[in-house]
Amino acid sequence: MHIIDISVTLRDGLAAWPGEDYWRLDKTLRIAEGGAANVSRITMGLHCGTHVDAPWHFGLSDQTAESLPLDRFITPARVVDCTGVAQAITRADLAGRIDGTAAVLLKTANSGTLESLASFNRQFVHLDPSAATYLVESGVHTVGVDYLSVEGFFAEGAPVHRILLAARVAIIEGLDLSAVEPGDYTLVAAPLKIAGGDGAPCRAVLIGQTASGRVGL
């Protein structure tokens, strides 16, 4: 089976949204120090690395991470090439490219920058409200982006999040699509089942297809 890992590695130095908890791995037990096993604990924010947003993140409903429908995260998906977009993806950038697609993953110049441990970039490529509205109108139920937010850093009032989440469109953020060719795949990106979570980490992969269009085995 041809599987492409599109998750960011959780590790020291990973860029985080300013003010968010950063990733930290601490040892609890180590065999080399006389412990019965190697055991660790982690400290992280729910929006660290590759993760999903729940509607409760912006107070649009009471739906939290544990009740997110899994069919939004295990689904056919299309990777759309937006690497030529300099700042904000608009309706015009997507028009005619996502018809009949359940999930859309947007590959931009952001891809690979999180994995490279570059410092947080406030000028990352993002969606503008016209693109978010177009995705909703097109019947897309899942949107994935390759930086830590669908929203521009300087956006006020979070309009893109609000448009998508109010329409029950699932949001996956922090993907790494740098090694992925545009096209159609099967997405598997189930969020952790965290009670009350405003978001949740996930391990996102794409299952590729053969020339015949069938899933490669």
**Residue tagged 């041809």 (tokens):** 2
Domains identified in the chain and CATH numbers: 3-10+46-207 (3.50.30.50)
Closest residue by Cα to residue 79 from 51, 52, 98: 98
Distance between CA 39 and CA 42 in Å, rounded? 11
CA dihedral over 70, 147, 113, 117, signed as positive or negative? negative
pTM: 0.93
Distance between CA 217 and CA 209 in Å, rounded? 9
| Cα end-to-end span (Å), the chain | 4
Closest residue by Cα to residue 176 from 115, 86, 134: 115
Neighbours of 139 (CB within 10 A): 13
How is residue 36 written in tokens?
């019965």
- Of 57, 126, 141, 161, the catalytic one is 57
pLDDT tens string, the chain, 217 residues long: the values are 799 999 999 999 999 999 887 789 999 999 999 999 999 999 999 999 999 999 999 988 899 999 999 999 999 999 999 999 999 999 999 999 998 899 999 999 999 999 999 999 999 999 999 999 999 999 999 999 999 999 999 999 999 999 999 999 999 999 999 999 999 999 999 999 999 999 999 999 999 864 434 443 3
Residues 6+ apart with CB under 8 A from 41: 25, 26, 28
Residue 47 among the catalytic residues: no
State the alpha helices, DSSP H only, in 54-172.
91-94, 129-137, 159-166
Amino acid making up residue 68: L
